[in-house]
Amino acid sequence: MLNGLKAVLYREYTVFRKRAVKQIISSSVPPLLFLIAFGWGLGRQVNVGDLPYISFLVPGLIAMNSLNQCFAISAEINIARFYFHTFDEYLIAPVSEYEVVLGLTIFGMFRGFLSTLIIFIYTLLFGVQLILNPVFFIALAMHAFIFSALAVTTSMLVQDHSGQNLVTSFVITPMIFLCGTFFPVDKLPTAFKYLVLALPLTYSTKVIRATLTGGAVQYGYIYVLLIYCIIFFITAIWTLKRVEA
Amino acid sequence: MVKDIVLKTTNLRKSYGKTTAVDGIDLSFHTGEFVGLLGPNGAGKTTTIKMLSGLTKPTDGSITYFGLDFHSNQRFAKGVIGCVPQINNLDRDLTAYENMYHHALLYNVKDDSTNEKIMIALEFADLINYTHRQVKTFSGGTMRRLVIARALLHEPKLLFLDEPTVGLDPQIRRDIWDYILKVNQVKNTTILLTTHYIEEAERLCKRVLIINKGRIIAEGVPDTLKKDMGRYVLEVFKQEGIEERFFETRNEALASLKECQETCKIREVTLEDVFLKLTGRRIDA
């Protein structure tokens, strides 16, 4: 039972173990630069509501960095599909598509959590106070699940590496900048406000920020994230079923 | 003795837009057979293997393994086949053992015997000294052996080998041939091998299917296919090209050679000649 899931996790874990140092270092640099530039540099002069900007920024950085790390698996799947053809092993093996998607998604989540741990270490160094509670971990898990499943879907839909770059440029990067990671969504022009309300990052960032800064959590957003989890997971399975080598 | 039909296809077809890669082929393989699918590049060999292994979906036609429809019994069917693709699709960051273990998990090789099976498979492939070395340090021939060993780990009933020796030097190619023959003879694994190397098809395959433009244009035992042409060929090198004349005996060919004004050469008939006669072009053209 679940041999496909075990196989995917074994492969991802074994490869990660060998690349761990490089991957951890590479995922540590961007949030540090953001903290220095926007947290220390710009943020000392600015407040968002009652919060110092750096306290507002850290949850956004967690959302952004974990999203980036989760979504990065799409590039790796792409290389496995188009360059090394190792992904073909999953297509010809007697395993269900849902097991493969689940395995890849869980690994993406692991990377998302690891990047969050790195930011927590930074917050200790920068003296940022955060409140940890179970709702935060639930929200982060859903957030990581959604963007890992999206990464699998993307890697199944694109036909080459340039297609992958297009998705990053036109979907992921705008989402990161517009969905409340660096500034409140209500500061956006009305048209953009409606646009970002359709994107899952808006909701995960709000819940993550509310839990970490002691704000009021809107539990309706958790249900919205759950719906996104289901839709994105089913979509990933659907795209994998249709993929051909 | 009636042997099991391992694989049967009916009117198998694959089109990409207006291009037809495989144009309605019927195949039937029995237990223990060694069959070659011989044809030039672009004939439809790899597309056929991709459809048979589940990498791509047929546009039309049916595939059955042991009488069961492939599409509706995918878990069973994928469990009884092993596939060696043209490209060495190994995880280069992993060791030989780790690649094998990953495959063992995918194919649900039982936990208590996994280690033993992996070591036996590596031993059979003469790779025991490479067990814990990273694949990225292997030569092309060693990688090829590992890909074949991996495909055999779950003891498939049918093994697909897609151009298994392409790009390898002659000595390594012969080593791989010996290994493949051992698999067929010792394990009684049915093998379907695609190739555009005449020598490979003649040396390994008990039955050959000649494919061109997505269709099977001839089928039979290599010797029989060749015998239909005659046993010897006299090549006459003319200004406009090489003319080939076929003879039943060497003496007949020699008699013709004596009357020849141009440069001439006698050789035995090969499957290349069969292909040339059927299609008007060479396999490697």
Is the pLDDT at B101 greater than 90? The verdict is yes
Residues of chain A in contact with residue B102, where contact means CB-CB under 8 angstroms, are 7, 10-11, 14, 89
Q: What is the ipTM of this complex?
A: 0.91
Give dist(CA A29, CA B137) in Å, integer: 31
CA distance A235 to chain B (A): 20
**Which residue out of A12, A86, A243 would a mutagenesis test of the B interface target, given it has the greatest number of B Cβ atoms within 10 Å?**
A86
pLDDT at B2 over 50: no
Three-state SS at B33: coil
pLDDT (mean) for B217-233? 90
Region of poorest pLDDT, from A178-187, B51-60, B113-122, B136-145: A178-187
Q: Chunked in runs of 10, what are the mean pLDDT values of chain A (245 residues)?
A: 93 95 91 88 80 91 95 95 95 96 98 96 90 95 98 94 89 91 86 90 96 93 98 98 90
The alpha-helical segments, DSSP class H, found in chain B are 45-53, 74-80, 96-106, 111-124, 140-152, 170-187, 198-204, 222-227, 250-258, 271-279
Residue pair B214/B234 in contact (Cβ under 8 Å)? The answer is no
CA separation, residue B187 to residues B121, B152, B153, B158 (Å)? 12, 10, 12, 11
Cross-chain CB nearest to A88 (options B74, B85, B103): B85
Q: Report CA dihedral (B152, B117, B124, B166) to the nearest 10 degrees.
A: 30
Phi, then psi, of A85 in degrees rounded to 5: 60, 20
Please state whether beta strands B215-220 and B232-238 pair in parallel, antiparallel, or not at all (unpaired): unpaired
Name the one residue in this structure whose structure tokens are 């392409």: B166
Residue (of A108, A127, A101) closest to A40 by Cα position = A127
A6 touching chain B per CB within 8 A: yes
More confident residue, B254 or B3: B254
Pairwise CB contact (< 8 Å): B83 & A19 = no
The larger pLDDT score, comparing residue B23 to residue B261, is at: B23
Partners of residue B57 in chain A, C-beta under 8 Å = 244
Domains of chain A: total: 1
The per-type count for chain B, helices as H runs and strands as E runs, is 10, 13
pTM, two decimals, is 0.90
Q: Note the pLDDT of residue B285.
A: 56
Closest CA to A209 of A53, A13, A32: A53
Angle CA A212–A108–A8, to nearest 5? 145
DSSP tag of A44: G
- Residue B82 neighbours by CB under 8 Å, 6+ apart: B151, B152, B154, B156, B158, B159, B160, B189
Query: Mean pLDDT in chain B?
Result: 92
Which DSSP state fits A223? H
User: For the segment B152-185, what is each residue's pLDDT rounded down to a tens digit?
Assistant: 999 999 999 999 998 888 888 999 999 999 999 9
Which two three-digit tokens encode residue A139? Answer: 């929200």
The CA-based diameter of chain A, rounded to the nearest angstrom, is 59
pLDDT, tens digit, for every residue of A191-212? 888 889 999 999 999 999 999 9
Please give the pLDDT value at position B284.
66
Q: Does A59 touch chain B (CB under 8 A)?
A: no
Q: For the segment B232-244, what is each residue's pLDDT rounded down to a tens digit?
A: 999 999 888 888 8
Which residues form the domain of A147?
3-242
Longest alpha-carbon distance in chain B: 73
